Chain A
Amino acid sequence: LSPQAHDLQELRRSASLATKVFVQRDYNDGTLCQFQTKFPLELDSRLERQLFEETVKTLNGFYTEAEKIGGSSYLEGCLACATAYFIFLCMETHYEKVLKKISKYIQEQNEQVYAPRGLLLTDPVERGMRVIEISIYEDRCGSTSSGSTSSGGGGGR
């Protein structure tokens, strides 16, 4: 096990940031937070289109849920107004709850889909909800751009 762990460490140290891709906002539905599902060409060799689209569509679904105008959001708004918004000192808003869900989802996606392919998703909330930043890493040595971090034998050694 220890040589494999040693290889993992090697692999971690051998990755470096190559470039970043920014998935822009899609304003066709107005000011709602939605992102474009257009596949960035830089990811062509790294990621399957379908996976990317699924990620962005799920994120868009979360944001739609956060900004949904309906009975529950009105109730929350009216209750908050009645308490002069002091209720938010003890309670999270619906939007904040959904943002937490989004954060968890992005972490899951990074662990399961993106990191094994040498990519990293950044939560849009850390970029002012303007873009989904996807960082592309490659092997420092450049010899193998191995996607999988758990493959035995490691890269470069």
Chain B
Amino acid sequence: MSVMVVRKKAMRKWEKLPGRNTFCCDGRIMMARQKGIFYLTLFLILGTCALFFAFECRYLAVQLSPAIPVFAVVLFLFAMAMLLRTSFSDPGVIPRALPDEAAFIEMEIEATNGTVPQGQRPPPRIKNFQINNQIVKLKYCYTCKIFRPPRASHCSICDNCVERFDHHCPWVGNCVGKRNYRYFYLFILSLSLLTIYIFTFNIVYVALKSMKIGFLNTLKETPGTYLSPPRGAYLPLPPLCPVVGLTGFHTFLVALNQTTNEDIKGAWTGKNRVQNPYSHGNIVKNCCEVLCGPLPPSVLDRRGILQQEDSSAQGENSTRGPSTQEPSTPEKSSTQEPSAAQVLGAQVVGSIREGSSSPTRQSAVPMLPLSPTGMPEEAQPSAVELPAQSWEDGPTEH
């Protein structure tokens, strides 16, 4: 009997990632769902620069120097590259805990907190660490089922925990976090320079032309479009102030090694002797670390192949012999045995399926004692009264 075996295209992990991101180019590009404002950003930058190159540059290159448009092109390309890099890269998303890990953490929490009487609210899930003589509280994320690392925060728009979370920027259509902060900073810096550059040379253009044909004639010289020079000269002005202001603000943050999130929440405002434990105390060192420090790669593994069984007409399950053809049925609750090579220490790349029954087999094993504060035994510095606001963005809290 002939059977039709339909082989599905290998599914990549990005197709099954939780969270509210969109992926393009088979997982190479990662953005937030709402991209409308990002398209607006692109339009504004491209539009302004197109007008500048089309009109002013032709005149200024002849009258002053051809270096003017060349430098503008370099600055424009750099700003666009940084924008696309910020928008398309993984900001530092922390993958959610797999079921086994989540269950393990739950057991640890229960061991710490003990049984809570009926009707009482369970105590908040917090772990304390001492970083640089500062007590830092790690909060538990109910969505991702992990204790968030220090400086990480859960973005409610993208529904992901992001390391060194700065803010979610609708203008770039992505979160700004550990992995793309330097691109974001370079983008706003280069955009500020570009805006100032275009604005300056627009003024120069108007001035030069006025000297030749008079100011009023310069104003009258319009091919009919509203945006043509010299009216278009003032186009860069509206974005100039906010972009330059933002660059100044982020320069301040970089110098202090703070994130926008920490600044907004007033995490290190200085009351109760709270200092930023991540700052090196030296502006140059802070800048170097934030902008030139080592770049961690993405741990999301968007383009990894998801182990999938080939769909076949007769519904036969693929055998477990070959290691690449293991059935992937996350709903299966029984533990799956590993294939031959794995027990002997071959690298397992996501092919062991976790079983939900494993925690129950641990009844005979003593619980890991988790000290309530996880702090070292030596004298503790005065506990810090952090502001009443939670560590995460308000709307994200469960």
Question: Which of A20, A68, A93 is the one whose CB lies under 8 Å from B100?
Answer: A20
Instruction: Give the contact stretch, choosing among B36-44, B51-59, B129-137.
Output: B129-137
Indicate if A37 sits at the interface (CB-CB under 8 A): no
Instruction: Tell me whether A126 and B138 are in contact (CB under 8 A).
Output: no
Whether B278 is near chain A, meaning CB under 8 Å from some CB there, is: yes
Given A12-B344, A128-B94, is A18 in contact with B358 using a C-beta cutoff of 8 Å? yes
Chain B interface helix/strand/loop/mixed: loop
| A77-B291 CB under 8 A given contacts A16-B335, A30-B132, A95-B297 | yes
Would you call B361 an interface residue if the criterion is a C-beta within 8 Å of the partner chain's C-beta atoms?
A: yes
Interface size class of B (residues with CB under 8 A): 35 or more
- Check if A126 sits within 8 Å of B340, measured CB to CB: no
Query: B101 and A127: CB pair below 8 A?
Result: yes
Asked if B150 is at the interface (CB within 8 A of a chain A CB), the reply is yes
The answer to whether the Cβ of A55 comes within 8 Å of any Cβ in the partner chain is: no
**Contacts of A30 on B, CB cut-off 8 Å?**
131-132, 150, 277-278
Q: Kindly list chain B residues whose C-beta atoms are within 8 Å of the C-beta of A22.
A: 100-101, 104-105
Q: Are A69 and B338 within 8 A (Cβ)?
A: no
CA distance A128 to B19 in the complex (A): 15
Interface residue count on the A side (C-beta < 8 Å): 62
B5 at the interface (CB under 8 A from A): no
A141 at interface by CB-CB < 8 Å: no
CB distance from B100 to the nearest CB of A (A): 5
Contacts of A95 in B (CB 8 A): 294-297
The smallest beta-carbon distance between B300 and chain A, in angstroms, is 8
Is the beta-carbon distance between A127 and B294 smaller than 8 angstroms?
no
B:151-200 near A, CB below 8 Å? 151, 163-164, 182-183, 186
Docked-complex contact A93 and B347, CB < 8 angstroms: no
B149–A25 contact, CB under 8 A? yes
Contact between chains at A41 and B131 (CB < 8 Å): no
Residue of B nearest to A42 (CB): B365
**CB-defined contacts of A103 to chain B, threshold 8 Å:** 347
Kindly list chain A residues whose C-beta atoms are within 8 Å of the C-beta of B101.
20, 22, 127, 130-131, 133
B343 near A115 with CB under 8 A, answer: yes
A139 to chain B, nearest CB (A): 11
Q: Considering the complex, which residues of chain A in the window 121-143 have a beta carbon less than 8 Å from any beta carbon of chain B? A: 122-123, 125-131, 133, 135, 137, 140
Per-residue CB contact flags for chain A residues 58-78 toward chain B (1 = under 8 Å, else 0) read 000000001111000110111
A134 to B366, CA, bound (A): 17
Contact B149 A27, beta carbon cutoff 8 Å: yes
B154 → chain A closest CB, angstroms: 14
Residues of A within 8 A of B277 (CB): 30
Tell me the complex Cα distance, A66–B296, Å: 9
Q: Does A157 contact B (CB under 8 A)?
A: no
Counting CB contacts under 8 A, is A145 at the interface?
Answer: no
Contact A77-B293, Cβ < 8 Å, known A17-B337, A85-B183, A131-B101: yes
Using CB atoms, name the residue of chain A closest to B362.
Answer: A19
Contacts of B345 on A, CB cut-off 8 Å? 107, 110-111, 114-115, 120
A96 at the interface (CB under 8 A from B): yes
Cα A19 to Cα B138 in complex, Å, equals 26
Give Cα distance in the complex from A16 to B340, angstroms: 11
CA distance A126 to B347 in the complex (A): 11
For the complex, give the distance between the alpha carbons of A21 and B104 in Å.
Answer: 8
> Is B297 a contact partner of A93 (Cβ separation < 8 A)?
yes
- Check: A47 CB closer than 8 A to any chain B CB: no
Q: Are B81 and A15 in contact (CB under 8 A)?
A: no
A67 to B85, CA, bound (A): 22
Interface string of B71-112 (1 = CB under 8 A from A): 000000110011001000000001101101100110000000
Query: Cβ of A15: which chain B residues have Cβ within 8 Å of it?
Result: 337-338, 343
A48 at the interface (CB under 8 A from B): no
Q: What residues of B have a CB within 8 angstroms of the CB of A2 in the complex?
A: none
Contact A13 B340 (CB under 8 A): yes
9-residue interface stretch from B206-214, B233-241, B348-356, B385-393 = B348-356
Q: Is B292 an interface residue (CB 8 A)?
A: yes
A40 touches B183 (CB 8 A): no
Query: Does B289 have its Cβ within 8 Å of any Cβ on chain A?
Result: yes
Q: Which of A84, A96, A123 contacts B81 (CB 8 A)?
A: A84
- Choice from B138, B289, B338, B340 contacting A27 with Cβ under 8 Å: B138
Contact B337 A16 (CB under 8 A): yes
B 319-342 contacts with A by CB, 8 A? 335-338, 340, 342
- Mark interface residues in A94-107 (1 if CB within 8 Å of B CB, else 0): 11100100010011
Q: Which residues of A contact B77 (CB under 8 A)?
A: 84
Measured between alpha carbons, how far is A133 from B355 in the docked complex, in Å? 14
Q: Which 7 A-B pairs have the closest CB atoms?
A: A77-B292, A110-B345, A115-B345, A128-B95, A111-B345, A84-B81, A27-B129
Some 14 contacts from A to B, beta carbons below 8 A apart, are: A20-B101, A22-B100, A28-B129, A28-B131, A66-B294, A67-B293, A76-B294, A81-B291, A84-B78, A94-B294, A103-B347, A107-B347, A110-B345, A129-B299
Taking A28-B376, A120-B343 as given, write out 12 further A-B residue pairs in contact, using a Cβ cutoff of 8 Å, ordered by the A residue number.
Answer: A13-B340, A17-B335, A17-B336, A22-B101, A28-B130, A28-B131, A66-B296, A69-B289, A77-B295, A99-B297, A126-B301, A130-B94
